Amino acid sequence: MDGVSAMTTTAGSSFWDRLADKYARQPIADEAAYQTKLRVSRSYFRPDMTLLELGCGTGSTAISHAPFVAHIRALDFSERMLEIARDKAKAAGVDNVTFEQADIAALSEPAESYDIVLGLSILHLLKHPDAMIEEVFTMLRPGGCFITSTACLGDTMAALKFIAPLGRAVGLLPQLSVMSSAQLLDKFTSAGFTIAHQWLPGRGKALFVVARKPG
């Protein structure tokens, strides 16, 4: 279940800080799908690549990918999530992942800084996913990929569009963007990406997308 973050507000940080320890103990909901996503992601990696992970959670995905790339910069808004991630990396002997606390909404990286940007279970937790997708397009080198897994709640739970703000106001839900699969894919292509790979493991599951920057 790694890759989840709410890197947009202090309230979002507090929400995930409170859940971090429980979250770290939970098993991955669909291990087979998760392993497929890891395997497909790695088919786009090279040993000399620099990877940025947005919303790294407790670090399992970054640690798993570490042997396949030169360096991973892994960001999350929750300091407690990052404490757990650093401990896990140390225990695994992984030294090519840098875990940093950061706010995606304020993230501004130099153009063409990364070969791969990874965002698992993050876009639906942003108020403006379009802006993040456009920013990632700028960050990527030509031919680079934005690899994401996104809960497209508009496909099966459209009513959340009205419920989510209330849940967030009382601290029961994080920020949620309710969008359909079609709307998500349109956001990628509107930003200039081509869709290199897409996979939906099943109804109600997160849509896995590899979006490539031309070049």
> What does DSSP say about strands 71-76 and 97-101: parallel, antiparallel, or unpaired?
parallel
pLDDT above 90: percentage of residues in the chain: 64
What's residue 18's pLDDT? Answer: 63
Between residues 83 and 29, the one the model is more confident about: 83
Cβ atoms of 129 and 123 within 8 Å: the answer is: yes
Question: pTM of this prediction?
Answer: 0.83
What's residue 1's pLDDT? Answer: 37
Question: Distance between CA atoms of 79 and 42, rounded to whole angstroms?
Answer: 27
What's residue 104's pLDDT? Answer: 79
Cβ atoms of 120 and 56 within 8 Å: the answer is: no
What's residue 23's pLDDT? Answer: 59
Architecture of domain 10-212: 3-Layer(aba) Sandwich (3.40)
Nearest to 59 by CA among 31, 95, 87: 87
Nearest to 76 by CA among 26, 118, 27: 118
pLDDT tens track for 136-177: 999 999 999 999 999 998 887 654 554 444 444 444 444 577
Q: Name the residue ranges covered by the structural domains of the chain.
A: 10-212
What's residue 172's pLDDT? Answer: 40
- At residue 124, the 3 state secondary structure works out as helix
What's residue 24's pLDDT? Answer: 59
pLDDT tens track for 58-108: 999 999 999 999 999 999 988 888 999 999 999 999 999 999 999 877 888
Residue 101 has which token pair? 């606390």
Residue 127 has which token pair? 């108020």
What's residue 5's pLDDT? Answer: 37
Residue 15 has which token pair? 């929400």
The 10 Å Cβ neighbour count of residue 28 is 12
Residue 205 has pLDDT above 60, yes or no: yes
Q: Please, what is the end-to-end C-alpha distance for the chain in angstroms?
A: 32
